[in-house]
A and B are shown apart, each in its own frame.
Chain A
């Protein structure tokens, strides 16, 4: 018993300590701000109030949340359709090439977010490479509206976070035991059935983790909506950033963040429970051992 206590402490201790010290305490300070008033020139007046919460329940902020959730959700779906087969293909490559393929997928992202975004502007704008290319080929007469809209934002988000989804899914797929798949095929199951009944459920943890990565990173992003969306669409990340920095209204910024985190936690919990349940159905003996 004491040995297993010690083991728990060694495994969980460093992480919990780090998060308690550099996440929980600092953020608790900021969340206390949400019960105080903005100072006339920014900063905080320590007068207790619920005003910030009253301001936050305005339908304006809810509609921004819903719209950005829709965009982040679309980006997540698109990324999954691109990432899953890619991760699957990487996991089928000879073992000594897999790491190289993964590094090659991450490599473009060791440059800088801003100049990658500029590169997309060069590609997508009305006089950009794609439009002039298509025009020279005679495929289009008028330039396509590729930039400064939802399409551009989603493209930018998918592009920047796709490798994260690939990594998460790969981490799950590469753990698949080929014998299970062979057994299923040897029993005469067609390959799509094997995929739906065996592969997909077993790789759900990776799909779930990857989805969470791209969804939370997207909804909090504010550079892509500004540059590729042309500021025509606001994401949750934009309004929180603006409240803290542009309006210098920390109490209200803290309140909005507080509510955002609450909603996201609820969503993630639901998702985690659903994944666990889906896994419970999988042909694996995990529950028996737990």
Chain B
């Protein structure tokens, strides 16, 4: 590889920059984790060390069920949006459609959340759709499609479609061509799009609130947390976030180890 060929100040600078960016991203997370051990229930003032919030979290059925609902919504809406958004991106770039389509694709990003929220609730009420987790999922897919599609399209901007045509001309089926040629080209974009849409969905509040059914069974974590503001967002939420962070972090590192061993070993 070229990577370590010679001393390269640019490379050193890039590595240092990347580390600083990660520090920037993780410093507030460190603060949030420390606050999960805060004795008093105040969200921003330290008052002594305590483990009690972890115990309270384990007993708080509302938060745990909200966390489960959030994961269900995020996973299903991510899968649907990644699928639909990627197909749409390929279609758009292959066909190079006109302005109207572009506009519709930008729209879900631009429309203020509260507008989409009220629009969807009015629409579902008009059609007498029963609300629940499924209606949150349908709604989250709307804006997630736009984000996935935009990311995947960045990979197709300079795609050489003649390869695609050639493959078809040589008798390969469209499906084979898709799998062998297009999919590898867009895969990093698809993964990036999926990560983006999962992240957006996990943290989305307003649209989820309006399109949720009434009751615990469709309360998501952000809805639960915002409803705590009035009587104090307790460090239970920090405890929950800390656990999510630590578990995901461990999984990423573990996957990394396994991956490395399978490559080198």
Do B24 and A168 have beta carbons less than 8 Å apart? no
Q: B52 contacts the other chain (Cβ, under 8 Å)?
A: no
Q: B226 contacts the other chain (Cβ, under 8 Å)?
A: yes
Q: Smallest CB-CB separation from A118: which chain B residue? A: B43
Do A115 and B225 have beta carbons less than 8 Å apart? yes
Do A172 and B222 have beta carbons less than 8 Å apart? no
B residues contacting A by CB (< 8 A) are 2-3, 10-11, 13-15, 17-18, 21-22, 24-29, 31-32, 35, 43-44, 83-85, 87-88, 90-92, 94-97, 99, 101-116, 118-120, 122-123, 126, 138-139, 141-142, 145, 147, 149-155, 157-158, 160-162, 174, 185, 188-189, 191-193, 195-196, 199, 202-203, 205, 221-222, 225-226, 229, 233, 237-238, 241, 244-245, 248-249, 252-253, 255-256, 259-260, 263
Complex CA–CA separation, A253 to B119 (angstroms) = 12
Q: A58 contacts the other chain (Cβ, under 8 Å)?
A: no
| Chain A contacts for B185, CB-based, 8 A | 175
Do B142 and A8 have beta carbons less than 8 Å apart? no
Chain B min CB distance to A113 (Å): 5
Interface string of A75-110 (1 = CB under 8 A from B): 000000011011011101000111111111111111
Do A261 and B195 have beta carbons less than 8 Å apart? no
Chain B min CB distance to A151 (Å): 15
Interface string of A202-232 (1 = CB under 8 A from B): 1001101100110011001000000000000
**Total A-B pairs in contact (CB under 8 Å)?**
300
Name A216's contact: one of B109, B118, B155, B255 (CB within 8 Å): B109
Complex CA–CA separation, A63 to B194 (angstroms) = 37
Complex CA–CA separation, A253 to B114 (angstroms) = 10
Interface string of A104-137 (1 = CB under 8 A from B): 1111111111111011111101000100000000
Q: A10 contacts the other chain (Cβ, under 8 Å)?
A: yes
Complex CA–CA separation, A250 to B237 (angstroms) = 33
- Can you list 14 A-B contacts with CB-CB less than 8 angstroms, sorted by A residue number? A11-B90, A19-B142, A83-B21, A86-B21, A92-B11, A96-B259, A108-B29, A119-B32, A159-B25, A175-B185, A209-B154, A265-B107, A265-B110, A286-B157
Do A174 and B85 have beta carbons less than 8 Å apart? no
Complex CA–CA separation, A265 to B161 (angstroms) = 28
| Chain A contacts for B248, CB-based, 8 A | 103, 107, 110
| Chain A contacts for B157, CB-based, 8 A | 172, 205, 279, 286
Name A108's contact: one of B26, B109, B229 (CB within 8 Å): B26
Complex CA–CA separation, A205 to B225 (angstroms) = 37
Complex CA–CA separation, A112 to B154 (angstroms) = 29
Do A167 and B87 have beta carbons less than 8 Å apart? no
Do B95 and A290 have beta carbons less than 8 Å apart? no
Name B151's contact: one of A83, A88, A104, A168 (CB within 8 Å): A168
| Chain A contacts for B249, CB-based, 8 A | 104, 107
Q: Smallest CB-CB separation from A90: which chain B residue? A: B18
Chain B min CB distance to A11 (Å): 3
| Chain B contacts for A89, CB-based, 8 A | 14-15, 17-18
Name A112's contact: one of B114, B141, B221 (CB within 8 Å): B221
- Best-buried of A26, A174, A279 by chain B (most CB within 10 Å): A26
Chain A min CB distance to B11 (Å): 7
Complex CA–CA separation, A159 to B21 (angstroms) = 10
Q: A103-B252, A114-B225 are in contact. Are A123 and B28 (CB under 8 A)?
A: yes
| Chain A contacts for B110, CB-based, 8 A | 216, 220, 260-261, 264-265, 268
Do A112 and B104 have beta carbons less than 8 Å apart? no
Q: A159-B28, A167-B196 are in contact. Are A114 and B226 (CB under 8 A)?
A: yes
Instruction: Please provide the chain A residues from 21 to 75 with a CB less than 8 Å away from any CB of chain B in the complex.
Output: 22-27, 29-30
Complex CA–CA separation, A113 to B263 (angstroms) = 37
Do A22 and B241 have beta carbons less than 8 Å apart? no
Q: A14 contacts the other chain (Cβ, under 8 Å)?
A: yes
Name A11's contact: one of B94, B162, B189 (CB within 8 Å): B94
Do A107 and B202 have beta carbons less than 8 Å apart? no
| Chain A contacts for B161, CB-based, 8 A | 289-290
Complex CA–CA separation, A129 to B27 (angstroms) = 11
Q: A15 contacts the other chain (Cβ, under 8 Å)?
A: yes
Complex CA–CA separation, A83 to B24 (angstroms) = 12
Complex CA–CA separation, A171 to B249 (angstroms) = 22
Q: A277 contacts the other chain (Cβ, under 8 Å)?
A: no
Do B87 and A10 have beta carbons less than 8 Å apart? yes
| Chain B contacts for A120, CB-based, 8 A | 28
Do A289 and B31 have beta carbons less than 8 Å apart? no
Q: A106-B199, A205-B157, A261-B110 are in contact. Are A119 and B35 (CB under 8 A)?
A: yes
Do B139 and A11 have beta carbons less than 8 Å apart? no
